[in-house]
A and B are shown apart, each in its own frame.
Chain A
Amino acid sequence: MPQIFHHSTNALAKITIYGAVFIIVAALWVAVELNRSSWNTGQWVERQQPVQFSHKHHVGDDGIDCRYCHTSVETAATAGMPSTAVCMSCHKQIWADSPYLEPVRASFRTGKPLEWIRVHDLPDYAYFNHSIHVQKGVGCSTCHGRVDEQPIMYQAATLQMEWCLECHREPEKFVRPKNRIYDMAWRPVNTNSEQLAEGFRLKAEYKIQGRRVLESCSTCHR
Chain B
Amino acid sequence: MSRFRNTFGIGVLLAVVCFAGAACRHDMQDQPKIKPYRGSSFFGDGLASRPPVQGTIARGHLRSDTEFYTGKKPVSSASPAPASTNPYTDDVDTFPFPITQETVVRGRERYEIFCSVCHGMTGHGDGMIVRRGFRRAASFHDDRLRQAPVGHFFDAITNGWGAMPPYAAQVPVQDRWAIIAYVRALQLSQQNIKTQPGPSGTPLPQGSSQPQSQPTPAAGGHQE
Contacts and interface: CB of A to CB of B under 8 A. Distances in A.
Interface of A: 62-65, 67-68, 71, 77-78, 81, 83, 85-86, 88-90, 92-94, 112-113, 115, 123-125
B117 A125 contact: no
Main secondary structure of the interface of A (DSSP, over half): loop
A105 B128 CA distance: 23
Interface stretch (B86-94, B129-137, B138-146, B193-201): B129-137
B30 interface: yes
A64 B118 CA distance: 10
A125 B165 contact: no
Contact of B29 (A85, A93, A94, A123): A123
Contacts of A65: 112-113
18 contacts: A62-B128, A62-B129, A62-B132, A64-B117, A64-B128, A68-B117, A68-B170, A77-B36, A78-B37, A81-B37, A85-B165, A92-B165, A93-B133, A94-B132, A113-B47, A123-B28, A123-B29, A124-B31
Contact of B114 (A68, A90, A112): A68
A56 to B, nearest CB: 13
A148 B112 CA distance: 17
Interface in B142-191: 163, 165, 169-170
A115 B39 CA distance: 9
Contacts of B35: 124
Contacts of A67: 113
A27 to B, nearest CB: 12
Contact of A63 (B163, B170, B224): B224
Main secondary structure of the interface of B (DSSP, over half): loop
Contacts of A124: 28-31, 33, 35
Contact of A90 (B31, B33, B37, B129): B129
A63 B31 contact: no
Interface size on B, as a range, is 20 to 34
A63 B28 contact: no
Interface of B: 28-31, 33, 35-37, 39, 45, 47, 112-114, 117, 128-129, 132-135, 163, 165, 169-170, 222-224
A88 B170 contact: no
A86 B117 CA distance: 13
A68 B166 CA distance: 13
B133 A94 contact: yes
Given A77-B36, A123-B29, 18 more contacts: A63-B222, A63-B223, A64-B117, A67-B113, A68-B117, A71-B170, A78-B36, A78-B37, A83-B169, A90-B129, A93-B134, A93-B135, A93-B163, A113-B47, A123-B30, A124-B35, A125-B28, A125-B31
A63 B128 contact: yes
A85 B170 CA distance: 10
Contacts of A85: 165, 169
A88 B167 CA distance: 12
A93 B133 CA distance: 8
A62 B117 contact: yes
B39 A94 contact: no
